[in-house]
Each structure stands twice: as C-alpha cells, then as structure tokens.
Amino acid sequence: MTPNKEDYLKMIFELGGDTALISNKQIVAGLDVSAASVSEMVTKLVEQRYVTHTPYQGIKLTASGQQKAAMLVRNHRLWEVFLVQSLGYPVDAIHQEAEKLEHATTPEMADRLAKMLGKPQYCPHGGVIPDSDGHYLDQSRVALADVEVGQKGHIERVVDEAAVIDYIFGLGLHIEDHFTVVDKDQQTVTLHQTETGKDLPIERKRASHIFVELKD
Ligand SMILES: [Zn+2]
C-alpha cells in the first residue's frame, strides 16, 4: 500500500518534526518510498500548510500539522493499547490492526477509549499518546544511529511503522531493553544487549528509527 498524506504526517511527527527540521532522506527511509514520492507529497503538505520546507535545511510541522499528526498518532496508539490490554493481543501483532481502526475513529470514540483505558500516556512501542487537546509528554529524540561507541542506555521507543517494528522484534530487541553500543561502521550499529548478553548488529537505517534514553 502506498503511504497517504496521513502516514507522512505521522512519520514526520515521529521523526521529531514537531520541534526540529527533518530531512527528506529520513522520510524516505521511514516509509520505504522513493525520494521523488517524498518531494511530491511534501509539496502538497506545504500547500495545505501542514509543514514548512526550507530548502537544504528540512521539513517541520506547522502548528496545524502538529495538531493533525497528534490526533492521528493518538487514535492509532489508543487502539494499540486497547488491543494489548483488553483483547490480549501480543505486542508484535497490533500495528496493522490499529492501522485499520484509526481511520474509523471519531474524536468522541477516542475520548471514550482513552477514559476506559485509564488515559495511557505511551503505546506498547514506547510512543507518546497525545491527549484530546493534542498535548503530550516529550518523546525521546536521541536516535540509536547517533549514539557513540561505549555509551549505555535503554530503548525508549521505535517509530510506529510495520517494517521497523517487525525488524526490531525479529532481532529479539524490546522496549526498555538495556544496551551498550559496542561497535559502529557505515552499515551497522552493534549493541550489546544487557538482558541476554548478546551482541546485536542493527542496520543504520533502522537504528535511525529507534530512539533511546542514554545513561549519563
Ligand atoms: Zn505503537
């Protein structure tokens, strides 16, 4: 399925485009689409005033783009919590289901769902859940790809995209797992996972979609 406008807004939000400039390249990697498709969609989003685009610097959400993205992310993640908490789904099987449900969600439904679930602030992938006014706790903005060899920390969140989630769970890496970065080269970032004692090589492209909290 080709990602639509809403998928782009969500991705820009998750990559940190609510407070910082992000690049076309980051969106290309996040959505697995061509650079041409990204340019085309960014032009549309600029026309609709959801984002600003400063050539050679990057893309950032406008206030209305941020509000729109926050609501999309809210709907998606509330359903994810519901699927795990109320329907007993395993965490690695909720993303696609939530993807279908979010498009049929009215603000009223989201509010009732949030209330029933006890107003959760994070989804099972560690992502923030904005409230009905679009406010949310700060999300980690340190990408694993930017962590230096020798630094320690834990996994805080992953970008809510099927390819990213499948990749990470496939490796046996989970939210809250502790690690030390033990090696880095052009292609990979290698983690020593504290919980299992294993070394996990992670593709750079994926490492830029895993966000961490560093131990100082
Ligand atoms: Zn999620």
Q: What CA dihedral angle connects 84, 90, 96 and 99, to 10 degrees?
A: 10
Domain holding 19, by residue range, is 5-61
In a domain? residue 165: yes
Are residues 121 and 172 both part of a single domain?
Answer: no
Are residues 169 and 116 both part of a single domain?
Answer: no
Instruction: Count the Cβ atoms, other than its own, within 10 Å of residue 38.
Output: 23
Distance between Cα 190 and ligand 1 center (Å): 24
Distance between Cα 77 and ligand 1 center (Å): 5
Which of 114, 138, 162 is the C-terminal boundary of a domain? Answer: 138
d(CA 151, CA 149): 6
Q: What pLDDT digit, counting tens, does each position of 160-183 carry?
A: 888 888 899 899 999 999 999 999
Are residues 133 and 148 both part of a single domain?
Answer: no
Are residues 123 and 148 both part of a single domain?
Answer: no
Q: What is the pLDDT of residue 91?
A: 87
d(CA 191, CA 202): 8
Q: What pLDDT digit, counting tens, does each position of 115-152 carry?
A: 999 999 999 999 999 999 999 998 888 999 999 999 99
In a domain? residue 197: yes
In a domain? residue 119: yes
Which residues on adjacent β-strands are paired with residue 15? Answer: none
In a domain? residue 178: yes
* Cβ neighbours of residue 106 closer than 8 Å, sequence gap 6 or more: none
Distance between Cα 10 and ligand 1 center (Å): 11
In a domain? residue 66: no
Distance between Cα 157 and ligand 1 center (Å): 9
Structural domain total, the chain: 3
Q: What is the CATH number of the domain that holds 93?
A: 1.10.10.10
Are residues 146 and 131 both part of a single domain?
Answer: no
In a domain? residue 93: yes
Q: What is the pLDDT of residue 163?
A: 83
Are residues 77 and 52 both part of a single domain?
Answer: no
| pTM: predicted TM-score of the whole model, two decimal places | 0.88
Residue type, 129: I
Which of 61, 80, 106 is the C-terminal boundary of a domain? Answer: 61
Are residues 184 and 210 both part of a single domain?
Answer: yes
Q: What is the pLDDT of residue 22?
A: 93
Distance between Cα 202 and ligand 1 center (Å): 20
pLDDT less than 70: residues of the chain: 1
d(CA 23, CA 134): 24
Long-range Cβ contact pairs of 24-29 (< 8 A, separation 24 or more): 24/59, 26/208, 27/59, 29/205, 29/208, 29/209
Q: What is the pLDDT of residue 31?
A: 86
d(CA 74, CA 103): 12
Distance between Cα 92 and ligand 1 center (Å): 10
Are residues 88 and 124 both part of a single domain?
Answer: yes
Are residues 126 and 88 both part of a single domain?
Answer: yes
